[in-house]
Structure 1
């Protein structure tokens, strides 16, 4: 089954900000972060129910190698990415996006 993936603009900004931060630390690290995000999104797309619900209907998937998580909502055939957050950030800041 193929699911439709929607990345909200706020989540795209989260990913862009993290990319720029990692790229500023070490040239090429931002690109590695983007590849890790893509791999995580692909895994979510293959099996959106594999990840636990952590708040209301939001699920989280951890990004391999980086301390970030993708937060998304799965409703029937649509996966909506609401945030890409550093694991140490206050969860209340993304919960408001739901």
Structure 2
């Protein structure tokens, strides 16, 4: 699921420009690093689910901060229907 979300987003930006796709991937990796280092700094949106925006792109990472790890539940366009986001809880 998450792999498909990310592939869809990167394919979209790669189709526009490989440089844009690379910038998206870099911004995504930066945000992953941020949320793995300080997951509690991102706001809760539903129960223990938290969301982190991808800098300069209209995408969010939905995740849960578990005791042993951070679980990425999805990569969504910020304007997408949020009702489906919360069905991915662990």
TM-score for the superposition, normalised by structure 2: 0.94
Q: Secondary structure at the match of 1:77?
A: coil
* Deviation, structure 1 residue 27: 2.4
Paired with 1:17 and 1:75, the residues of 2 have a C-alpha distance of 26
* Deviation, structure 1 residue 77: 2.2
Match of 1:27 in 2: 18
**Structure 1: unaligned runs, 5 residues or longer:** 1-9
Q: How many residues align?
A: 89
Cα-to-partner distance string for 1:36-90 (whole Å, 9 max, x where unaligned): 0000000001101110110121000111010001110011121000001000000
Is residue 2:85 matched to residue 1:94? Answer: yes
Runs of 4+ in structure 1 over 2 Å off:
none
Is residue 2:57 matched to residue 1:63? Answer: no
Structure having the higher strand fraction is: 1
1:1-98 equivalences under 5 Å are 10-98=1-89
Match of 1:3 in 2: none
